[in-house]
């Protein structure tokens, strides 16, 4: 690999000298883990990232660009995460704000197997936003969850996915739930995506079971199964992967961590997510509109030869506001709605009304 991996950090510090010293500290911490002068100079040239740029940003922060010789310091996606944020996750005031991914790196990564075009083909919907409804709550029986699936399918919902906390609880064990819910959508155009998140071994069993039952996709939490397992699912499962950000919020600090559009956008897409769930602005979480826009852009923009992934905003989207979000985010969006449908007495009617709103909005 001859191209370099350029990482832009935002550093919380007040003087240029301090910023330079912190950038140097990152360069050493993420590679040789030794102080200056404790290693041969040829290692400096070959291994330690180069400071390409350093500039003041706003009061109290600087922008530093380090470029890594990825062919010498990288290997798999775990080492990539390690280089980007491994040890410096333990230090305050460092934000990975942008990354320029070398084409050679992108060529080694699966990216979405389906992506926007593939999921459009699976659902048979060419020209409007998609609707995904979360199946909940945890604690309902498989039978009751399947009844909800049936109601949602009768309303023509595109995708029904398990809530990410619905795993293998006694109220709705995985195998039983899979069978009942898949039965409930049989003969309709609705796709049921079960949550397969599980420890190794069990994860493979659930993927195999989902495929055998006829599911075309699954829900998975990449930071629970680990980024390496996520990549492997993309390469081997043959199923569309909706990625859930469980545990990932810890990285999304304002002045510490990894920018949301990099972690949930670029990285989850590179690992093979066909759609990425994120908490929409104005819902139960605290993403800004700018973050949502940046995320949408990262999931859809040209990126090597990787397919575009669907943005899947959720986390408290009100069904009545979906038309407004369609205008804001565009047609290549899948909307995740849950609570605001379950508030209604008649789930099927509420979901059908929402589907109609989506179809109308798309024609505007």
Interactions with a second copy, residue window 83-112 (CB under 8 A): 83, 85-92
Nearest alpha carbon to residue 125 among 359, 346, 360: 359
> Shortest gap between Cβ of 228 and a second copy (angstroms)?
3
In angstroms, what is the minimal distance from the CB of 66 to a second copy?
15
Give 63's Cβ-side CA count (13 Å radius): 10
CB proximity list for 201: less than 8 A, separation 6 or greater: none
Pick from 160, 218, 229, 240 the residue near a second copy by CB under 8 A. Answer: 229
Query: Is 208 near a second copy (CB under 8 A)?
Result: no
**Residue whose CB is less far from a second copy, 121 or 288:** 288
d(CA 5, CA 108): 14
Binding a second copy (rule: CB under 8 A), the pick from 71, 108, 175, 328 is 71
Beta strand pairing status for 61-68 and 5-12?
antiparallel
Asked whether position 237 contacts a second copy by CB under 8 A, the answer is: no
**137 upstream amide cis, omega within 30 of 0:** yes
Name which position in 21, 75, 320, 346 contacts a second copy (CB under 8 A): 75
Footprint of a second copy on 114-133 (CB under 8 A): none
Closest to a second copy by CB, 286 vs 305, is: 286
- 61 beta partners: 12
Residue 160: DSSP 8-state: E
Q: How far is the CB of 62 from a second copy (least distance, A)?
A: 19
Q: How many residues bind a second copy (CB under 8 A)?
A: 83
In the list 57, 98, 104, 137, the residue contacting a second copy (rule: CB under 8 A) is 137
Contacting a second copy within 283-322 (CB under 8 A) = 284-286, 315
Contact call for residue 227 and a second copy (CB under 8 A): yes
Sign of the Cα torsion 344, 348, 352, 358 reads positive
Strands 275-279 and 257-258: unpaired
The span from the CA of 219 to the CA of 308, in Å, is 18
Q: What angle do CA 228, 137, 132 make, to 5 degrees?
A: 60
Least distance to a second copy, CB of residue 95, Å: 11
Q: Which of 52, 104, 168, 293 binds a second copy (CB under 8 A)?
A: 168
User: Which parts of 12-51 interact with a second copy (CB under 8 A)?
Assistant: 25, 29-35, 38-39, 43, 46-47
- Of 6-14, 217-225, 293-301, 327-335, the window that binds a second copy (rule: CB under 8 A) is 217-225
Q: Toward a second copy, which CB reaches closer, 183 or 342? A: 342
Least Cβ distance, residue 52 to a second copy (angstroms): 20
Instruction: Indicate the SS3 state at residue 310.
Output: strand
**Span from 54-62, 79-87, 153-161, 292-300 in contact with a second copy (CB under 8 A):** 79-87
DSSP per-residue letters across 216-257: SEEEE-HHHH-HHHHHHHHHHT-SEEEE--TTGGGGB-SSSE
Give CA–CA dist 304/348, Å, rounded. Answer: 41
- Cβ(96)–Cβ(84) below 8 Å: yes
Give the number of other CB atoms < 10 A from CB of residue 161: 27
Cβ of residue 21: shortest distance to a second copy, in angstroms?
13
What residues contact 169, with CB distance under 8 A and at least 6 apart?
Answer: 138, 139
- In the complex, least distance from residue 248 CB atom to a second copy, rounded to whole angstroms: 6
**Single residue of 142, 197, 237, 291 touching a second copy by CB under 8 A:** 197
Question: Taking the complex as a whole, how short is the minimal distance between the CB of residue 186 and a second copy, in angstroms?
Answer: 26
What's the min distance (Å) between Cβ of 41 and a second copy? 11
């Amino acid at each position: 690999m001859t191209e370099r991996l350029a990482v832009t950090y935002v550093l919380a510090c007040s003087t240029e000298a301090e910023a330079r010293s912190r950038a140097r500290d990152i360069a050493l911490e993420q590679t040789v883990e030794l102080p200056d002068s404790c290693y041969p100079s040829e290692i400096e040239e070959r291994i330690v990232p180069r400071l390409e740029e350093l500039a003041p940003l706003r009061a109290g922060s600087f922008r530093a660009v380090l470029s890594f010789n990825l062919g010498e310091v990288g290997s798999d996606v775990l080492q990539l995460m390690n280089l980007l944020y491994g040890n410096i996750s333990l230090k305050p005031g460092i934000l990975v704000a942008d990354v320029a991914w070398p084409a050679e790196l992108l060529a080694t990564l699966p990216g979405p197997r389906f992506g926007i075009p593939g999921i459009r083909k699976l659902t048979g919907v060419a020209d409007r936003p998609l609707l995904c409804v979360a199946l909940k709550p945890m604690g309902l029986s498989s039978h009751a969850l399947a009844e909800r699936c049936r109601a949602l399918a009768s309303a023509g919902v595109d995708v029904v996915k398990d809530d990410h906390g619905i795993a293998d609880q006694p109220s709705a064990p995985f195998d039983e739930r899979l069978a009942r819910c898949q039965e409930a959508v049989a003969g309709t155009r609705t796709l049921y995506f079960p949550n397969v998140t599980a420890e190794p071994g069990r994860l493979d069993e659930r993927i195999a079971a989902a495929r055998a039952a006829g599911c075309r996709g699954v829900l998975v939490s990449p930071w629970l199964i680990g980024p390496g397992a996520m990549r492997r699912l993309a390469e081997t499962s043959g199923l569309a992967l909706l990625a859930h950000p469980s545990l990932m919020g810890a990285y999304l600090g304002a002045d510490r961590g990894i920018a949301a559009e990099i972690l949930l956008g670029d990285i989850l897409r590179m690992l093979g997510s066909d759609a990425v769930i994120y908490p929409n602005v104005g819902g139960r979480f605290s993403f800004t509109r700018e973050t949502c826009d940046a995320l949408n852009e990262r999931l859809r923009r040209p990126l090597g030869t990787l397919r575009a992934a669907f943005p899947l905003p959720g986390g408290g989207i009100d069904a009545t506001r979906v038309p407004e979000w369609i205008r804001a985010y565009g047609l290549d969006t899948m909307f995740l709605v849950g609570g605001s449908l379950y508030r209604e007495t008649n789930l099927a009617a509420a979901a059908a009304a929402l589907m109609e709103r989506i179809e109308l909005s798309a024609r505007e």
